[in-house]
Amino acid sequence: MSISIQYRGSMANTAEVETLMEEAEDIANIMRWPCEIWDEDWNRPPDVHFESIRGGGIQIVGHSALRGISLQPHPLCEPLLLLFRPDGSMSSPFQLALDAGEGYPQKQLWLSTETYSAGYLAHAAIVRLLQHLKKRYLHNLEIRDATGFADSGDETRLQAFFHALSAVSG
């Protein structure tokens, strides 16, 4: 089973990326979430791509030209990527590597953070953080949340959704 939060948007003013990064890092520190700052050179074009790993598998290598922060709200959920291209659009290293053959076109992408294994509290915290960032920096941010929490803010309903899904899959 899977529950994820999907989101997409862009910074209207890329000069605010640094402020968003600092605020998100402060929140991560308060919440005791590990985080990673991404501060790559926006003046240099991306050259990120997939590369085979000896013994099997692939890795992403190269310069992604992304600035922002990735947060790890819970050890059992995927990171929340707040990474921006020079035009202010949100992206990820994986998406850029996929787009390498097309010359890294600018496009509005849906990013996703899977939260099922982390539980409803982590899910709620991520949605609330995204909603906060929408008010401050990402005015066109769209959030897709199959649980309905992003629209309702009803934590009791969110908890029931997680428990019902757990009962079905358990």
Per DSSP, the residues of 66-110 read -EEEEE-SSTTS--EEEEE-TTSBB--HHHHHHTGGGT-------
Model confidence at 62, pLDDT cuts 50, 70, 90, reads very high
Q: Which residue has the higher pLDDT, 68 or 109?
A: 68
Query: What would the pLDDT profile of 74-132 be if each residue is shown by its tens digit?
Result: 999 999 999 999 999 999 999 999 888 888 888 888 999 999 999 999 999 999 999 99
Round the average pLDDT of the chain to a whole number and report it: 93
Name the pTM for this structure. 0.93
Residue 109 domain boundaries: 4-169
pLDDT of residue 110: 95
Query: What would the pLDDT profile of 2-20 be if each residue is shown by its tens digit?
Result: 899 999 999 989 999 999 9
Number of domains the chain is built from: 1
pLDDT of residue 170 exceeding 80: no
DSSP label at residue 53: P
